[in-house]
Chain A
């Protein structure tokens, strides 16, 4: 919403400065977004400098000038003035401006084959003097003003732009803003002058609102104005229209706009001679069409509110008028419409047809239903003043009565809500100034809500009005109490927090990527999950909710690769979506890692392998409180992993999946390793397996270490071998460490050799040679039994 202080003073007499006013507006919830110099008809004329006056190739008397108009690049202007020369400071008029002398509107044109963008002006053309010989030569003091308007704004009027919240339609009119300022004691609200007409003619057009279900229109007021001579608006009106950022069109159109911004009362002007017989406000039929004033043709759905005549739709009620009945400069007889349309139906229609207009913006927020007559009066007065004509009596069709809402207001609620005491006298003063009618009852105040405030429903809304006008700075801050009734984080949240920092501490950089993903990449990772499409995605690359954290991480990893980062460890902790129902999501920690082939051998570093990622993963799981001996590692994994170099970690009973890890399938990306921790599962596992702190017990007896090398089938994995050994006696076998795996020469092709060190220690005594020998034999036997492995001799 835009206005000028000058315009505001039509409604408010105040001695406050613009600065004070701006501060106050912010303080009462009418946020000032911008303060700009007002545009006027002459503000397009800017100071310019001829950089080079070249000879026109096809005309001896013309010059083709390179002109600096304060923009990045110079522009070309053809000029016939003898004084057009290099370095001259002058005044430039861009295409679109109207030359004051002859009213000619400038266009981009070709002059003798050369395109000229605008014009350099003489004094007579700007009506500065009669001097028409040559273009204006400005003094050097203008050399710093190139690109700036030559004509200074005389009344120095600033345009104040407010960002009005959707609950305050009344402040979409200057009157509403004035009323709010008046309520805070910033001046006096002026009365609107009663207008009296000599209503000479009769309103002889038949108008009817159809009473149907979902009828958006409940009041349709109108008057006819005959024998007008529509013309260009007078300059005071033009200036206000320009201040709003609109283009002046004709007096009739400008006046309807003016009334809309002045009183927040949208109007529409029809060319009466183009209306066939009568007007009916009705619901549209499916497929009906309307060519609207924005020059687009809309195909209407059923039950949209149309203003129609015998021939068809003339306009969409409260949204936009039609071309067929639009007024022109030569319109002689017109009909002015001032109506009330239902906010939510209007909004629905405009959404469906994707139309935005100033009228729609106001009606969907709620227009004062009692401003119908006021709007007609003001428009009729202005039109007859400027264009002449005779005004008919007003025809007001009404199918619903709007009564003022009544609220029983207990003023104690004010102090209860805001924490400070306000006396009732001040409360009543504020409300009265805002237009509320108050009546003291014994236990409450009876409040009548003005019809221009559709946002006020109950007591709490009145509380807001009072504190808003009093100012939030009056509320006393109360120091918060430092007591806690519940732990800050719950069990799951603690694990989230720990997982995040645990993985980060392994060298991974945390990323946050979109919860959506590219469907094509997502498909590679979704396995048997359903694709969850977004109906209105921001782009086709972000059209589905992610079924895995991999798609985005891989995508960004590749981007970093292109930036030249070959070594990367990235991770994300966040939601993965399993269904489109609320709650159909799990939390996953996914890490990805890649490293260029070893390029600093002197450090003894090896190429990245699956055991690097496994190390990071297992360590994080341990840090999250899952012991190694609670994990079962198997070579099962989803299809986006390398089938031979990947696995999963689950609880021993295989019931809870904790993680996947491995090399990402080379058909997706080469030489990249990754892991996924399923955090919800992990937390569930921990809840099922609560740990008791173990006592610190040391065995005083000697420990012995024995090395073994077993020849086992390639189908048997290391864990099976370890399990076979552990089985013997958990209290004796303290540790099993695999230190070598060998395949190749001297070994059958279907076999591999695994060498391991077993630590044996009793908690009760020092084992003697025979006992140790016995344990060794049992190890060999158990391995044979459970894995078919043979001790390598």
Chain B
């Protein structure tokens, strides 16, 4: 056994009994370091004949390979052992509560406005807006509601001045007027927004939300109105079929006018929309009155179309089973948490309206 072979044997033993990383580091430099046994052995190559060299070098290399395999195996063992020892000492009571993840909520009315916009976007409507403070003309006169007319009784108006010329809009219909006055037909818009009536009881709040719809073109008739609303209601309630009826009614700004009821039934104290033998009024609509078109500088002989108005809060109540309209505006933290929506839950037409 040569001197080198003896040393090899010694170091193999050393590696086997090494207990920790620092011992191993020391051994490593003694073997593989600048003055380690491997390097020292290689230095002997110079004094050998070319024939001898080949064998000699191959011998060292295979020994080196053997040692380094042995070494890395051992050092992995030691490392694992040290980690395990450390880990065994670490212990956290993971039943302690986690950090709060602070994700907020979007108000159901906002969510429903987004849902509605998403549905109407699909059939080509764009969103318009108007101011909350309106003048008498846009809110009533232009909409064919003359002064001292009982139709005004349906609108308990908040006024901002004594001569009752400035008011809080009682419906979103003035947006129709503004839209038509500033543009040219065709018009195909929806207008969601805050509306105000001086009414406050179990089922009325002084502020509520409406959505106006307006579609004016050359040949838009009541069949289009029916189709549009039918499409909307089905999409909104996410049902295949919906029972729907149009009932003649009266609004000064549409002629003919209709109210739309949808069918429902009660099951386990919950409203099931779409079928059943009960009727629920959900919106008002009609063909835009020629007088309104005239007031908005649209020629009623060339253009016609429909308009509708929907109570957004009421739709939200129906779809999400909210019983009390007033609770929408009371900002109760528990309510907001329960009925609010995850802000990531953006209604889209490819993913769907709701989760």
Question: How many chain A residues touch the partner (CB < 8 A)?
Answer: 100
Cβ contact of B96, chosen from A27, A497, A507, A602, cutoff 8 A = A602
Task: Say yes or no: B149 contacts A477, CB within 8 Å.
Answer: no
Cβ contact of A472, chosen from B122, B247, B250, B337, cutoff 8 A = B247
Task: Say yes or no: B159 contacts A535, CB within 8 Å.
Answer: yes
List 28 A-B pairs, Cβ < 8 Å.
A28-B248, A166-B154, A344-B146, A347-B148, A458-B290, A460-B256, A468-B248, A472-B245, A475-B222, A476-B226, A478-B221, A480-B124, A480-B227, A483-B124, A484-B126, A489-B117, A501-B346, A502-B343, A505-B103, A507-B102, A510-B106, A510-B336, A514-B207, A560-B332, A560-B333, A580-B161, A582-B166, A583-B133
Which chain A positions have C-beta within 8 A of B160? 532-535, 545, 580
Task: Say yes or no: B168 contacts A535, CB within 8 Å.
Answer: no
Distance between Cα atoms of A487 and B126 in the complex (Å): 6
Task: Say yes or no: B289 contacts A460, CB within 8 Å.
Answer: yes
Find the A residue at minimum CB distance from B122. Answer: A482
Cβ contact of B333, chosen from A344, A416, A486, A568, cutoff 8 A = A568
The 9 closest A-B pairs by CB, nearest first: A507-B102, A29-B248, A419-B223, A165-B250, A556-B331, A504-B343, A472-B246, A464-B256, A419-B221
Which chain B positions have C-beta within 8 A of A536? 158-159, 198
**Per-residue contact bits, chain B 300-334, to A (CB 8 Å; 1 contact, 0 not):** 00001000000000000000000000001111111
B193 smallest CB distance to A (angstroms) = 9
Interface-lining segment among A43-51, A114-122, A149-157, A571-579: A571-579
Known contacts A504-B104, A575-B132: A489-B223 contact under CB 8 Å: no
**Per-residue contact bits, chain A 301-344, to B (CB 8 Å; 1 contact, 0 not):** 00000000000000000000000000000000000000000011
Find the B residue at minimum CB distance from A27. Answer: B247
Task: Say yes or no: A480 contacts B228, CB within 8 Å.
Answer: yes
Which chain B positions have C-beta within 8 A of A481? 123-124
Task: Assess whether A490 is interfacial by the CB under 8 Å rule.
Answer: yes
B303 smallest CB distance to A (angstroms) = 12
Distance between Cα atoms of A483 and B125 in the complex (Å): 9
Task: Say yes or no: B256 contacts A463, CB within 8 Å.
Answer: yes
Which chain A positions have C-beta within 8 A of B168? 515, 534
Known contacts A504-B343, A512-B329: A535-B227 contact under CB 8 Å: no
Q: A417-B304, A506-B104, A536-B158 are in contact. List 13 more A-B contacts (CB 8 A).
A: A419-B222, A478-B226, A481-B123, A481-B124, A490-B127, A501-B343, A505-B343, A537-B158, A559-B330, A574-B194, A575-B194, A580-B166, A582-B166
**Per-residue contact bits, chain B 179-211, to A (CB 8 Å; 1 contact, 0 not):** 000000010100000101011100000110000
Which chain B positions have C-beta within 8 A of A515? 132, 168, 194, 196, 207
Task: Assess whether B97 is interfacial by the CB under 8 Å rule.
Answer: yes
Find the B residue at minimum CB distance from A461. Answer: B255
Task: Assess whether B75 is interfacial by the CB under 8 Å rule.
Answer: no
Which chain A positions have C-beta within 8 A of B131? 582-585
Task: Assess whether B50 is interfacial by the CB under 8 Å rule.
Answer: no
Task: Say yes or no: B103 contacts A507, CB within 8 Å.
Answer: yes
Cβ contact of A563, chosen from B107, B125, B132, B332, cutoff 8 A = B332
Task: Assess whether A500 is interfacial by the CB under 8 Å rule.
Answer: yes
Distance between Cα atoms of A542 and B200 in the complex (Å): 12
Task: Assess whether B67 is interfacial by the CB under 8 Å rule.
Answer: no
B205 smallest CB distance to A (angstroms) = 8
Task: Say yes or no: A29 contacts B330, CB within 8 Å.
Answer: no
A581 smallest CB distance to B (angstroms) = 7
Task: Say yes or no: B159 contacts A534, CB within 8 Å.
Answer: yes
Distance between Cα atoms of A189 and B81 in the complex (Å): 104
Task: Assess whether A698 is interfacial by the CB under 8 Å rule.
Answer: no
Distance between Cα atoms of A200 and B100 in the complex (Å): 95
B157 smallest CB distance to A (angstroms) = 8
Distance between Cα atoms of A166 and B200 in the complex (Å): 22
B residues 76-135 near A (Cβ < 8 Å) are 96-97, 99, 102-107, 109-110, 114, 117, 120-127, 129, 131-135
Find the B residue at minimum CB distance from A166. Answer: B150
Which chain B positions have C-beta within 8 A of A344? 146-149
Which chain A positions have C-beta within 8 A of B198? 536-538
Task: Say yes or no: A460 contacts B104, CB within 8 Å.
Answer: no
Distance between Cα atoms of A28 and B248 in the complex (Å): 6
Task: Assess whether A603 is interfacial by the CB under 8 Å rule.
Answer: yes
Cβ contact of A416, chosen from B258, B289, B304, cutoff 8 A = B304
Which chain B positions have C-beta within 8 A of A472? 222, 245-248, 258
Task: Assess whether B249 is interfacial by the CB under 8 Å rule.
Answer: yes
A480 smallest CB distance to B (angstroms) = 4
Task: Say yes or no: B226 contacts A569, CB within 8 Å.
Answer: no
Find the A residue at minimum CB distance from B258. Answer: A472
Task: Assess whether B230 is interfacial by the CB under 8 Å rule.
Answer: yes
Find the B residue at minimum CB distance from A348. Answer: B148
Which chain B positions have C-beta within 8 A of A420? 223
A residues 476-531 near B (Cβ < 8 Å) are 476-490, 493, 497, 500-516
A residues 229-256 near B (Cβ < 8 Å) are none
Cβ contact of B249, chosen from A29, A416, A484, A509, cutoff 8 A = A29
Known contacts A166-B250, A417-B222: A365-B124 contact under CB 8 Å: no
Task: Assess whether A600 is interfacial by the CB under 8 Å rule.
Answer: yes
A608 smallest CB distance to B (angstroms) = 12
Distance between Cα atoms of A381 and B287 in the complex (Å): 46
Task: Say yes or no: A507 contacts B207, CB within 8 Å.
Answer: no
Task: Assess whether A406 is interfacial by the CB under 8 Å rule.
Answer: no
Task: Say yes or no: B125 contacts A509, CB within 8 Å.
Answer: no
Which chain B positions have C-beta within 8 A of A483? 124
Which chain B positions have C-beta within 8 A of A168? 250
Task: Say yes or no: A482 contacts B162, CB within 8 Å.
Answer: no
| Interface-central residue, A167, A574, A600, by most chain B CB under 10 Å | A167
Task: Say yes or no: B247 contacts A509, CB within 8 Å.
Answer: no
Which chain A positions have C-beta within 8 A of B173? none
Task: Say yes or no: B256 contacts A513, CB within 8 Å.
Answer: no
Task: Say yes or no: B166 contacts A581, CB within 8 Å.
Answer: yes
Task: Assess whether A170 is interfacial by the CB under 8 Å rule.
Answer: no
Distance between Cα atoms of A500 and B123 in the complex (Å): 25
Which chain B positions have C-beta within 8 A of A508? 104
Distance between Cα atoms of A458 and B164 in the complex (Å): 30
B187 smallest CB distance to A (angstroms) = 10
Task: Assess whether B73 is interfacial by the CB under 8 Å rule.
Answer: no
Cβ contact of A486, chosen from B123, B126, B162, B230, cutoff 8 A = B126
Which chain A positions have C-beta within 8 A of B247? 26-27, 29, 31, 472
Task: Assess whether B153 is interfacial by the CB under 8 Å rule.
Answer: yes
Task: Say yes or no: B248 contacts A166, CB within 8 Å.
Answer: no
Task: Assess whether A605 is interfacial by the CB under 8 Å rule.
Answer: yes
Task: Assess whether A624 is interfacial by the CB under 8 Å rule.
Answer: no
